[in-house]
Chains A and B, each alone.
Chain A
Amino acid sequence: MKLNLIDVYVYEVTKRLPQKTRDDIALELRSAIEDTLPERPAEEEVKAALSKLGDPALLAASYRDTPAYLIGPNVYDAYIQTLKLVIPWAIFVTIFIHIAESIVSFSGAETTLFVAIKTFSTIIASVIMVLIQVLFWFTLVFCVIERAGAIKGGHRLITSKTFWTPDDLKNIDMIPKKKAISNGEVVFGFVWTIAWGLVYFNADHLVGIYRSEGSGELQFVMPIFNQGTLQSFWLIIVAFILLDLGLALYKGASKKWTMRLAYVNAVIHGLGLVAFVVIASDPNLMNGAIIPYMAELLETTSSSVTQAIEWIWRLVAAGFVVSTIMEIIDSYRKARM
């Protein structure tokens, strides 16, 4: 019975240890425990000796020399830096693929609004899945690096190849926070441009008057714009989409506002403003059928609807002009800082 207690204790310790060290530690531990006890110990004495050794799990833990953590201080920095680098790209690529897929597979059988909502929800689900995958695999890889490094004796894993010297400081570009362009901004710019391009070329089944049916579904009544007129400007729009994507890439590479970037930004957005005015002032832009429809709906005359629409146009145009100018001024202000 008394010996049994010691046996069980030793078993409790060694079962938590690597196979090849078990026998040796078991033998050593048993003789060490027996050393502290008299020839024929009472159960109380055995218990006292064992409680002095403490929790078998803790004792086993102090025998083990593999680290009790997944990612230790040696690789932690590299791990975090890698994640910071990879996660924005993973999110961006996921969003991009889903939007591209929706465009390619768009058949017109469903309304664009429906497809957009569907795409949006699948994007959220996919981004979460991708994040889980990215976190899992990178954590796994860094765990392996951690374990391998622990065996070698643990040099700090650094992302640069050589040792640090004060001369390295000369190559570092300090970016003040107010001047910086975040990755999120760049990714958002990308997605924003593509989304608007998509809306533009599908305006005939997306931008229009909707009426809610009795069943709660949205019924597309008629488009606001003449798709033919919109389509006739396709060259300008494609050119601006490409320019805007290029600008987003430039911003991403630059990482901060410079005078040159602010200038390019001003030129592209200034031209965009001109293009907007040109397109917006095309007399055939609006779907003509909309005016009588609205007049009937609001129980008023066609001329007052036309007037109201003209006012709305002026407000939208003014808002567009003001926001563009403010954006340009803001970019120059940041570049000058």
Chain B
Amino acid sequence: MDSLPNSFTTELRRGTLTLAVLSQLHTPQYGYSLVQRLEEAGIAIEQSTLYPLLRRLEKQKLVTSSWDTTESRPRKYYLLSGHGTEVYRQLKREWKKMTLELKPLLKGADEVEFD
């Protein structure tokens, strides 16, 4: 296995992970439901990455958390805060801009490749 493209892929994914997680927190989610939602969308995320990430986002005040103890087992729900919503919007805009900028660059490279 070639490790260099692998490590680039990991780096790319890490950058988009925050965006992916924030995008799913408009409604309250607990850890495992978030894993499932992301997996359904095709984004594989390690649980061991997600749980610490959620705590970090909470510490950065992008999400708020609350314990739900009404069901048989207690669950910690995460939800975007006002600040988090704002940051998510900015990040989304940035992401769209970046993909638009990259598109012609990558297209050019493809044409050269297929010549």
Chain A interface size range: 10 to 19
User: For A52, what are the chain B residues with a Cβ–Cβ distance below 8 Å?
Assistant: 46-47
User: Which of B68-76, B81-89, B103-111 forms contacts with chain A?
Assistant: B68-76
- CB of A154 within 8 Å of the partner chain: no
Q: Could you give, for residues 9-49 of chain B, a 1 whenever the CB lies within 8 Å of some chain A CB and a 0 otherwise?
A: 00000000000000000000011110000000000001111
A253 at the interface (CB under 8 A from B): no
Q: Is B56 an interface residue (CB 8 A)?
A: yes
Contacts of A54 in B (CB 8 A): 46, 48
Q: Is the CB of B74 within 8 A of A27?
A: yes
Please give me the residue from chain B that is nearest to A30 by CB atom.
Answer: B73
The docked-state distance in angstroms from the alpha carbon of A28 to that of B31 is 8
Contacting residues, chain B, for A158 (C-beta < 8 A): none
B61 within 8 Å of A (CB atoms): no
Which of A58-66, A73-81, A91-99 has 4 or more CB atoms under 8 Å from chain B?
A: A58-66
Residues of chain A in range 173-203 having any CB-CB distance to chain B below 8 Å: none
Bound together, the chains give a CA A29 to CA B73 distance in angstroms of 12
Question: A residues 12-42 with Cβ under 8 Å of B?
Answer: 25, 27-29, 31-32, 34-36
Task: Enumerate chain A residues within 8 angstroms of B67, measured Cβ to Cβ.
Answer: 27
* Assembled-state Cα–Cα distance A28/B51 (Å): 9
A52 to B51, CA, bound (A): 13
Q: Is A85 part of the binding interface, using a Cβ–Cβ cutoff of 8 Å?
A: no
Q: Is the CB of A25 within 8 A of B55?
A: yes
A53 within 8 A of partner (CB): yes
Residue of A nearest to B71 (CB): A31
- Any A CB within 8 A of the CB of B52: yes
Which chain B residues have a beta carbon within 8 Å of chain A's beta carbons? 30-33, 46-49, 51-52, 55-56, 59, 67, 73-76
Interface residues of A (CB under 8 A from B): 25, 27-29, 31-32, 34-36, 52-54, 58-59, 62-63, 65
